[in-house]
Amino acid sequence: MSNFSDGDQPRRRGWKIGALVAAGVLVIGGGAVGALTAPSWANFGDEPAAAPSSSASSSEEPEAAESEAPEAEEFTFGITPTDGAVEVNPATLPEIRAEQATIEDVSLAPADGGEPVAGTFSEDGSSWKADGPLVFGTEYAFEFMLVDTAGGEHRQQQTFTTVQPENEANAWMYPAPGSTVGTGQTIEITFSEPVINKDAVEKAITITSTSGQQGAFYWLNDTEVRYRAQEYWEPHSTITVDVQLFGVDLGNGMIGNFNDTWSFKTHNDRLAVVDNATKQMQVFIDGKLERTFPVTLGTEEWPSFFGLYTVMEQYERTKFTAESIGLKPGDPAYYEPTEVNYASRISNGGAFVHEALPAAQSILGVANVSHGCVGMSPEGAKYFYDMFGPGDMLEIRNTDTGPVQVWDGFGDWNLPWSEWTSQQA
């Protein structure tokens, strides 16, 4: 019994999810082969099928033996993936379907050995489908037997290979799953490969919150997408990110390689408001003013951008270098590498809330001398370091430059909701 497929061999590039190969046999009388008929899902080539072998031995005359032999009804069957197919999406669930025949003894397993793939038969035995996904970069051996209506057995064998590992695409989320963050923390998902089919990826990611807040995606570029609600997350809520990317075509032949569910929580509401007009920081906890501290901000040459910032990361002690903000030795604003205490990053561009250097302590609340940072007293910087963390919000008011951009850290809240939601995937 021979199996045949579409006339052309599968191609390395441009594979299609769920491509069918079908092989069919029409059995007439004692085994003569006639014209094939196929259901709408079967896909036949022009090549004729070979007749199944048959033999009979009887003391009766040949004519009598032939007249008593049971006649098998014509049958057809279809298989996916195709025989010899390559770059098969591992999310494709292999399947066999037959008409006027039953399916038995199905075996689907890695060709070089390994755990077989479990599957389920239909009640009438006319179909079989794998229960779970396949593995990337694996050749599979697919074997089964078809039993026609006269009891004739027709065994089939074929192979196919799934997408190679270099075509896998991974993704990860910030904030870290299981973490507790401030109410202003937007969700950032980063992909290992560029995403062309953005709409398909968005549909594969479902984000819910115990507060019932709904949000929207915003793509920074082809590998980074953000998600936030119209307002800050409600305090003490849980946000769940259900990622079903396995088998999703990201474009350019790249396929998502996992499904997972991530979640994180928010703590109470924390906001620090820095006003350049007064050079003071006011700290609000759950909407109540708790502390006020004098500060220094950026100079006219190195201004602090106004707008909403999200705390990104923190260092109890770290080193600032002029080179990190584009200065070189000999530049008027150049400074030697400097150790600072209680530094909380608020932008990718190098803005921090930190303890001001000793020389700047005397002018806190009076003048601006920083390179765009918020300088504080030792007490104030430590208080901010201890009380605030990733996802907590800081707002700078009444400077002449800004606002801080979406890509400069998490300046997401400076983008109006109408603009955030108007981006086309």
Annotate 361-417 with DSSP letters as a single string.
GGGTTT---BSS-EEE-HHHHHHHHHH--TT-EEEEES-SS-PPPTTTTTGGGGS-H
Determine contact, residues 361/339, Cβ cutoff 8 Å. no
Residue 96 CA from chain centroid, whole number: 30
- CA-CA distance, 323 to 321, in Å (whole number)? 5
Of 115, 124, 120, 114, nearest to 93 (Cα)? 120
Of 302, 286, 292, 265, nearest to 393 (Cα)? 286
Token pair for 40: 């709408």
Annotate 168-187 with DSSP letters as a single string.
EE-EEEESPTT-EE-TT--E
**Could you confirm whether 236 is annotated as catalytic?**
no
Q: Which of 154, 236, 371, 373 is catalytic?
A: 373
DSSP element (H, E) containing 238: strand 238-244
Q: Show Cβ contacts of residue 98 under 8 Å, excluding neighbours closer than 6 positions.
A: 75, 76, 77, 78, 126, 127, 146
Amino acid residing at 52: P
Determine contact, residues 255/204, Cβ cutoff 8 Å. no
14 DSSP assignment: S
Query: CA torsion sign, 203 to 204 to 206 to 207?
Result: negative
Determine contact, residues 133/91, Cβ cutoff 8 Å. yes
**Could you confirm whether 354 is annotated as catalytic?**
yes
- CA-CA distance, 394 to 312, in Å (whole number)? 11
Token pair for 288: 């109540």
Q: Which of 154, 236, 267, 354 is catalytic?
A: 354
First to last CA, the chain: 50
- CA-CA distance, 40 to 45, in Å (whole number)? 14
Sheet containing strand 288-294, strands side by side: 288-294, 280-285, 270-275, 393-397, 307-310
Strand duo 171-174 + 187-191: pairing: antiparallel
Active site residues: 354, 373
